[in-house]
């Protein structure tokens, strides 16, 4: 049976993708930093839950190792873990910059690094969650937009590097989704992408 690892799999887009993969017959590992949320989502889907902070290299390594130990291989890696903190250039805090870079970009790169041997063996897929904020100017989302632009660039480079191995990477760039992370936007639920 094919298997997938979904970071940020306890809510939002990651959880929606996990539902789709489960319905298509994938064994799943869901990773998220909040134990209660990831355990509840995993129980609902019959998945393995891993509590992990994607800003931690140790946790990035452990997530892939736990998936491999349980399922033996990996067919799809979904890098959905992400954090967005609104703010303009003058209000930047180093802590918020580091947090967004750590989860949105560094964690994605480290989990991907760890997963590549398994994905080469299966000729699998890497699905990176970017954002419309990474495709053009997004006032109020300076750091978040920069991390998502980097995710798009990293995805293009992964495709170029991995072309001969059969591993493919794609970046999904949604607009505002009706999740708690987008509440700052002031948009009404019917103006956002539904869950």
Q: What is the set of active-site residues?
A: 144
SS3 77: strand
Q: How far apart are CA 157 and CA 26, in angstroms?
A: 27
Q: Please tell me the distance from the alpha carbon of residue 189 to that of residue 167, in angstroms, as a whole number.
A: 36
């Amino acid at each position: 049976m094919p298997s997938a690892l979904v970071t940020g799999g306890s809510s939002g887009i990651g959880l929606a993708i996990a539902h789709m993969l489960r319905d298509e017959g994938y064994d799943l590992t869901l990773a998220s930093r909040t134990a209660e949320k990831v355990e509840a989502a995993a129980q609902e889907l019959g998945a393995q839950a891993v509590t992990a902070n994607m800003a931690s290299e140790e946790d990035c390594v452990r997530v892939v190792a736990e998936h491999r130990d349980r399922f033996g291989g990996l067919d799809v890696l979904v890098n959905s873990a992400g954090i967005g903190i609104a703010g303009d250039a003058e209000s930047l805090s180093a802590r918020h910059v580091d947090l967004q870079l750590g989860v949105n970009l560094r964690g994605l790169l480290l989990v991907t690094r760890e997963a590549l041997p398994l994905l080469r063996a299966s000729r699998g897929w890497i699905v990176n969650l970017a954002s419309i904020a990474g495709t053009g100017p997004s006032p109020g989302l300076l750091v978040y937009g920069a991390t998502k632009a980097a995710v798009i660039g990293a995805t293009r480079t992964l495709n170029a590097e991995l072309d001969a191995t059969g591993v493919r990477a794609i970046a999904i760039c949604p607009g505002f989704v009706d999740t708690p992370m987008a509440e700052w936007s002031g948009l009404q639920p019917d103006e956002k992408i539904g869950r």
